[in-house]
Structure 1
Amino acid sequence: TMDATKYNQILNYIHSNVYPDDFSNIMKHGLRRLSKKFTIDGGKLFFVGKGKKAEVIVAEEFAKQIFNQFHSSLIGGHSGITKTKKSIGSRFYWPNVTVDIEQWVEDVWKLLGVDLIGPLPTTPTGNKYILTATDYFSKWVEAFPLKTKTAAEVASRLLSMYLRHGSPKRVLSDQGREFVNQVSTEYSI
């Protein structure tokens, strides 16, 4: 991501061709080369890659927020690496945007919290329980209605989720480690 100092250095150089006072010749050369990738529009700095339209420069503190909006929200729907990179990369820029997105997408579903709620009043379709699954990284939550809380029914719902999002590295449950182990072992998920 781009910090405010670097942003202002590039903006000032493009606008007035002035270097910071403490820059060495090597640093000046680097700033000149880097500045060729940017343009100013309406007083704001935009990144212009080869054959691309101008992209909004993202400050360091907003990069993760943008990722969550485009990947982890209802709009993003936990898209994969390629789709997330395309969605973000066509609109926004920060140094190492591609590497950050790849890492953040891979971090999703590493640690999953699973909980069973119920018994609740039986629904017209016979459901009495709710299985919730929360990704600790993105805070994405999924909920599934269940008729029973057997390992087979829980495993079936978890498997459908794993097929969409991938298997987590670790699953936590207040139902106890034995429950998670039973579901994982008996149903190979």
Structure 2
Amino acid sequence: MPGKLCFVKPGTNVIYVSESELFEVLQTVHKDTGHGGHCQRKKVVKSHALVTNPILSEDFNSRCQVDLIDFQSQPDREFRFIMVYQDHLTKFIQLRPLKTKQAKEVAEVLYKIFAIFGAPAILHSDNGREFVNATIEQLKDRWHGCHLVRGKPRHSQSQGSVERANQDVEQKLRC
């Protein structure tokens, strides 16, 4: 094996290896210990990663995502929640304070957002009760062409873009 033996203290030898020889020496030592190029204890781990198709948006307001951030632990007077409304293509975010997360209040705030920009072709939300009820359905009926889509239960990755925005907003506001 390449390298130099030198005396460090009684009973110990140290091998000095140049950087260019390091990989070859480590590989040789690994094979010489009986591993044969791989570790016997380590088994191949099969990947079970989800194969997802990215959500593509072609125009402003074609798909928007909405979610709520719970600020009950740090309310600002009577406001205990923040609505995060994000355009999927531009990542443009609107924040609106909410006193509660009851469907009626959520629908009123969404209505105000729609009055400014128009309703999106697709409104993507999670499965929270504030988004899954008759009040939100009535809002959708007022704005023809607005289709409601809900993410998978307990699967925040389907709301990835707005969830990331939530983290950024929380980080800035909780300082």
By the TM > 0.5 criterion, same fold? no
Give the structure with the higher percent helix: 1
Which protein has the larger Cα radius of gyration, Structure 1 or Structure 2?
2
Give the TM-score range, shorter chain: 0.3 to 0.5
Q: TM-score, normalised by structure 2?
A: 0.42
